[in-house]
Structure 1
């Protein structure tokens, strides 16, 4: 399927809408318990059960509109289905809380494999968005690899040490803000290693 342009607002709504809806639903249902099929489920588990198909549908809509999904989106959906499904099936919220850890370990590990092979896999994903010299890509990849591993550790510490509500705030706002801050802090790297696009 050919890649197509889509309204940025629509794309952002499909990417971040499920996460915000998860957050809102959690705040509304966190103190409630639901009895389904003779089993009691906390609000967090019920919200997780609703989030899984919502994310799958939103990702499917992105693919239908743009004709393409990046590897991060595909990996995220798979891990949400697996770990979210385990949480619902076993009625245990720990699996879903571990999902960000697995995502960041996976991404960090993939970048690490590329670096060991003398390659920047990040370049293949982001080169169109920000052209850099090869040295810049290697440096950015190394930094992002360490950042991903750091996020994995942070997620483990927070979900194991704090209440579920604290983890939900961290996942909904802390992780995106941390990612934004990371790239904002790479300004000097982009300046030193940036490559001007050819015009015409």
Structure 2
């Protein structure tokens, strides 16, 4: 494929997973501190959020330079992090950054749901070349992921509204990604019967 460059898979994983882990460790270091900037007190969480934005942008810029491309999901997630990170700092309110996760998962659920109402799988448009599968399989996977993203959005609302910031950071960094990864692995195993060497749609 023109413009596509090869990259070491391990290095790619570092670029994708490194920023959230960096946020986690920065938060652990700063969570008990208060910073006075321009006469305003900022919690360690908010400072960690602000520091997370350039770290993530640097990782994405490196990924784009190394591979020549970024997925729409990566671009959208980056926009949400920048936007809600900015709101968090501007209003000095950590709730904005916590709500970001709800809106990201909710957006994915809504988009997939719109495709389902049209009898289409938007997942197939994005992943068909990497994962050849018949149309029936794509529709099943799309329905399940639509529900899965909706559940993750609801779970994030429950966690950040009822639990401590410490617990939310841990679940955001490790719990939700691992749950999504496990869910996807389970779905692909269940959908083996729909795999098609000739492609999906």
Indicate the TM-score class for this superposition, using the shorter chain for normalisation: over 0.9
| Aligned match of 1:23 | 24
Gapped runs of 5+ residues in structure 2?
A: none
Counterpart mapping for 1:37-48 below 5 A: 37-48=38-49
Q: CA deviation at 1:196?
A: 2.7
| Aligned match of 2:61 | 60
Please tell me the root mean square deviation across aligned C-alpha atoms, in Å. 1.3
Q: What secondary structure is seen at the aligned counterpart in 1 of 2:10? A: helix
| Aligned match of 2:164 | 163
TM-score (norm: length of structure 1): 0.95
Q: CA deviation at 1:9?
A: 1.4
Distance 1:166 1:133, change over 3 A: same
| Aligned match of 1:124 | 125
TM-score (norm: length of structure 2): 0.95
Q: How many residue pairs are counted as aligned between the two chains? A: 198
Q: Distance in 1 between matches of 2:144 and 2:16?
A: 25
Q: Distance in 2 between matches of 1:54 and 1:76?
A: 14
Q: CA deviation at 1:192?
A: 1.5
| Aligned match of 1:12 | 13
| Aligned match of 1:104 | 105
User: Post-superposition, which runs of at least 4 consecutive aligned residues in structure 1 deviate over 4 A?
Assistant: none
| Aligned match of 1:183 | 184
Q: Is the 8 A contact 1:136 1:189 kept in 2?
A: no
Q: Distance in 2 between matches of 1:12 and 1:181?
A: 17
